[in-house]
Structure 1
Amino acid sequence: MKILVVGARRSGVFASILAKKHGFEVFLTEIADNKEVRSFEPILKENGISYEIGKHSFEKFSTFDLAVLSPGIPLNSPIVKDLESKGIKIIGELEFANMFAPNTKVIAITGTNGKSTTTALTGHIFKLHNPNTVVGGNLGTPYSELLLENPNPEYAVLETSCFQLETIEQYHPKVSVFLNFTEDHLDRYASMEDYFKAKKRIFMNQTESDYAILNYDDVVVRELSDEIKPRKYFFSLKEVVNSGAFLKDNKIFFKENKFSEPIEIIDRKEIPLLGLHNVENTLASVISSIVMGVNFEVIRKGIRSFKGLPHRLEYVREVNGVIFINDSKSTTPDSTIKALEAFDKKVILIAGGSSKNNDFTQLAKMFKSRVKFLILLGQTAPQLKEASINANFHDFAIVKSLKEAVNFAKTIASPNDIVLLSPACASFDMFRDFEDRGEQFKEIVNEL
């Protein structure tokens, strides 16, 4: 079989290597030509992968049997249209990798916000339960790469994005978690309805013997329970749910069904992560672990020992009594709202970046109660400025660079202040990605 892999970032590169390892004839095509793409050339050559960079040779593609699409490539892109016109079957990297691990039990985690932290925490707990566990997906390590390192894991805890879900066919998680649903990716989808349609594909192959874990406090997610087949568990910060996990009296409880007694799992103060949104993430991890038979004490140990991920409310440094926090992963207004809610006092907020066509109205309404001063940068600075003015918040300034933002924050900050980078926007106007933005922020802060 001849396989065409489209996209030469990490997903495409490791899908190519996985295909080659399994004896397929592979060709990798990438339209872009930049430093990131070229950085993968040595590993492609080392593994004998034929490839092209900076073009798509459309005239050659009709001879391929299967195309494996990287998640960053939209289904309306010219190469996808060309492959469809040639009658070539198209699947995504996640679907392709999944073909080679038929016996692995997948715990798949999706939602607009919190996917990475929930995946990492759940994976941390599962590795304590059974070391033959792989953790990744959209989190950073593609499933193809994980299976090259460990071809037969017992469990795979995978952050699963809407882009990946667009191209699944047989991907069948044992556990599917839907954390929340808010506005995002309107630069890719024509409407919120299209975005939601992609998200809920996570349940499409599940049966009554599988599990769905849903956010009871999110009405859109909760109402999915009426249209999906798997057994449903809920998590809630506000309600005592019949089946699932909930927060009551600052403790996390689990309840198997409406007839069973709640079991106390852990006190909230034992959770190292900041913010109520991370309590939600912990609730989802608790249910995922319990339904798969993980011992309560292992779950408690995992929660207590989990230190969080970089770029998610990450403590960087204290300078002259001023604390600097890196939350570069907050690429939506809703995630920045949750970041602001994690602190019990006003912060100096650095926000702005590239546009995903988000509405900043709800975020701006929080500025008066949660923000001491707002420092704006990037492509969306004018929109954020307008939203701030409309919300009657005028303590802001616009700067031209992240370094200028940090230096300005240092100048206006007093001892005991918090400087929070939580952009509410993507990073592609000024940075490679949110990790690059976060790393640069840390470097600038550490040079103060």
Structure 2
Amino acid sequence: MSQKVLVAGTGISGIAAAKLLLSKGGEVVLYDGNEKLDPEELKKKFDEGATITFVLGELKKTDLLGVELAILSPGIPTDAPFVEMIRETGIPIWGEMQLAYHCAKGRMAAITGTNGKTTTTSLTGEIMKSFYDSVFVVGNIGEPFAFHALETTDETVTVAEVSSFMLETMTDFHPNVSAILNITPDHLDRHKTMECYIETKESITKNQKEGDVCVLNYEDPVLREFGETLKDIKVVYFSSLRTLKQGFYLKEDEIVYNDGEKETVIVNIHDLKLLGRHNHENVMAAVAISMNMGVPLEKIQKVIKEFKAVEHRIEFVTERFGVKYYNDSKGTNPDAAMQAIKAMPGPTLLIAGGYDKHSEFDEWIESFGGKVRYLVLIGQTRDKIAECAKRHGFNDIMYAEDLQEAVQVCASYANPGDNVLLSPACASWGQFKNFEERGRKFKEFVRNL
């Protein structure tokens, strides 16, 4: 890959892509629309003498002379004006994940869906590591695939959390096993319509062929219907609400696998450290992926019993004066936040609000079901959420100027036996760099009470 390549974005994905291209002998033009960035600081991220030039601010057609490929970081909308200009020149457009896949070796399990991706990817990765020697867990979970692509061998198994933003720029991306966990409204500020969002999620299967596997949630009507259209690849369903003639399902307190002839008990849910029905679905998906990647059942069973919740996803923080605090900063849309409320063991004071992704909050408010004692709102969406809550007859609402004040308000109003839950139902942007920073700050504020 010794051609001249434009890399758009100087965040972690863009830097990873640029380094991968340079290591393959390429010449890189690194572009960012923020003209205030310091080229000298950017240079420090690369080896001395690297064949890289920097373009900051406006990208001109002359900057594309000799460029044979463009790599977009996931956060860049594919309809951005400069991307349209690149497209008009006929230069192929890839994403960082697609680039890394093109350079990597071995087998791939790829996981997408609106909610549950991080937990399922982390658990699947731990299962794989219990059996295979060379395993990488990459993607939207935090580590760009491009950082590890050249470390892979024919024996490597890569487990990737794949966002809809990443799927927009895939060309020949081809996982051996794919999984779509669920589809509910999210990122409509980017995808504009649910139809576009659904089509983007389902495109994870577009290059799969006979011998490949797709794991789908039977209780998601969109995915159940989609599964019926997949003729060449094997479809494996999981369900938390009914028994299936074939697949994985929750039967009373046990997760069961039916191969079409007999049932095999995988685990009793009371032996898991993960809370809530949505996590039982995540476990079923991880088990289905792992079995179809060749991991023996006894290895799978050992790992799923030991696995703890990932950071920022219904993560128990601490107990103060009889009140338990939970960090669900990863609950960045109403459906994810609904799952966190359902998982709470008792009366809850809920901290919510943040960046407006054009979500609707009605169903989320309805899910409170008498469990939420107070709703403490912060961020750009707080008025929108408050109005929605009042329409649904929920009036125990308080405002806070920031997350620190919200934690203090909850500590003042909580009774022993209550839970305080940060599950914003909104993105973190505007107040925080990302949901991880928001979650870390929440834990810091709680521990300083």
Q: Which residue of structure 1 aligns with residue 412 of structure 2?
A: 411
Q: Residue 213 and residue 409 in structure 1: after superposition, are their counterparts in 2 closer, same or farther (change >3 A)?
A: same
Contact 2:16–2:146 (8 Å) recurs in 1 = yes
2:340 maps to 339
CA contact (8 A) 1:28 1:49 kept: no
CA distance in 2, matches of 1:39, 1:316: 36
**Equivalent residue, structure 1, for 2:120:** 118
Report % sequence identity. Answer: 39
Report the alpha carbon displacement of residue 37 of structure 1 after superposing the two structures with TM. 10
Q: 1:41 to 1:336 in 2, by over 3 A?
A: farther
State the match for 2:57 in structure 1. 55
Equivalent-residue separation in structure 1 for 2:80 and 2:121 (angstroms): 30
Q: Name the residue aligned to 2:197.
A: 195
- 1:392 is matched with 393
Read off the aligned partner of 2:327 and give its amino acid letter: N
> Please, what TM-score do these two structures have when normalized by structure 1?
0.96
Tell me by how many angstroms 1:47 deviates.
7.7
For 2:50 and 2:305, locate their aligned partners in 1 and report how far apart those are by CA, in whole Å.
44
| Alignment match of 1:21 (pick from 9, 20, 23) | 23
Distance 1:174 1:85 in 2: 33
**Residue pairs, 1:110-189, within 5 angstroms:** 110-150=112-152, 154-189=156-191
**Matched letter for residue 7 of structure 1:** G
**Distance (whole Å) between structure 2 residues aligned to residue 278 and residue 267 of structure 1:** 13
Describe the SS at the equivalent of 1:290: helix
Distance in 2 separating the partners of 1:40 and 1:182: 38
> Quick check: 53-62 or 340-349, which moved more?
53-62
Matches within 5 A, 1:218-257: 218-228=220-230, 229-257=232-260
Contact 2:37 2:56 in 1 (8 A): no
Q: SS where residue 99 of structure 1 aligns?
A: helix
- Does 2:259 align with 1:263? no
CA deviation map 1:345-364 (0-9, x unaligned): 22000000001100000011
Query: What one-letter code is carried by the residue in structure 2 that aligns with 1:108?
Result: A
Per-residue CA deviations over 1:155-186 (Å, capped at 9, x if unaligned) read 11000111111111110010010100000001
Equivalence for 1:96 = 99
Q: Which runs of 5+ in 1 are unaligned?
A: none
Which residue identity lines up with residue 207 of structure 1 in the other structure?
Answer: K
Distance 1:337 1:193 in 2: 23
Task: Check whether the contact 1:117–1:309 (CA below 8 A) recurs between aligned residues.
Answer: yes
* TM-align CA RMSD: 1.8
Partner-residue secondary structure (3-state), 1:187? helix
Alpha-carbon contact 2:331-2:423 (below 8 Å) kept:
yes
- CA distance, structure 2, for counterparts of residue 437 and residue 147 of structure 1: 30
Q: CA deviation at 1:366?
A: 2.3
If the length of structure 2 is used for normalisation, what is the TM-score? 0.96
Letter in 2 for 1:181: I
Amino acid in structure 1 at the alignment position of 2:102: M
Deviations 1:284-341 (A, max 9, x none): 0111111122111100111012122110111111111111111000000000100000
Residue 32 of structure 1: how far off its partner (Å): 2.3
Distance 1:296 1:36 in 2: 52
Residue deviations 1:340-399, cap 9 Å, x none? 000232200000000110000001112342201110010000111011101101111011
Give the deviation of 1:148 after TM superposition.
4.5
* Residue 40 of structure 1: how far off its partner (Å): 5.7
- Secondary structure at the aligned position of 1:158 is classed as strand
Measure how far apart 1:36 and its partner are: 11
**Distance (Å, rounded) in 2 between the aligned partners of 1:210 and 1:346:** 45
Task: Find the counterpart in structure 2 of residue 445 from structure 1.
Answer: 446
By how many angstroms is 1:146 displaced? 2.3
Q: Could you tell me which of 87, 90, 95 is aligned with 1:87?
A: 90
> In the alignment, is the contact (CA less than 8 A) between 1:323 and 1:418 conserved in 2?
yes
**Aligned to 2:360, what secondary structure does the other structure show?**
coil
CA distance in 2, matches of 1:56, 1:369: 52
The answer as to whether partners of 1:246 and 1:252 remain within 8 angstroms in 2 is yes
> Cα deviation per residue 1:68-121 (whole Å; 9 max; x = unaligned)?
1111111110111111121111111111111112x4111000000000110000
3-state SS, counterpart of residue 160 of structure 2 = strand
Deviation, 1:39, is: 7.2
Matched letter for residue 378 of structure 1: G
In the alignment, which residue of structure 1 is the partner of 2:209?
Answer: 207
1:43 equivalent in alignment to 2:34: no
Please tell me whether the aligned partners of residues 236 and 245 of structure 1 are also in contact (alpha carbons under 8 angstroms): yes
Tell me: CA distance 1:231–1:284, structure 2 relative to 1, closer, same or farther (3 Å): same
Deviations 1:110-163 (A, max 9, x none): 000000110000010001010311101111111101224546652110001111
Match of 1:276 in 2: 277
Could you tell which deviates more after superposition, 240-249 or 277-286?
240-249
| Paired position in structure 2 for 1:424 | 425
Which amino acid in structure 2 is aligned with residue 344 of structure 1?
P
Aligned to 1:307: 308
1:383 corresponds to: 384
**Is the aligned partner of 1:8 residue 2:22?**
no
> Per the alignment, in what secondary structure is the counterpart of residue 73 of structure 1?
coil
Aligned residues of 1:8 and 1:30 also touching (Cα < 8 A): yes
Mean alpha-carbon deviation: is it higher for 22-31 or for 108-117? Answer: 22-31
Number of residue equivalences? 445
Residues 40, 351 of structure 1: alpha-carbon distance in 2 compared, 3 angstrom cutoff: farther
The amino acid across from 2:240 in the alignment is: L
Q: Is the 8 Å Cα contact of residues 29 and 55 (structure 2) preserved in structure 1? A: no
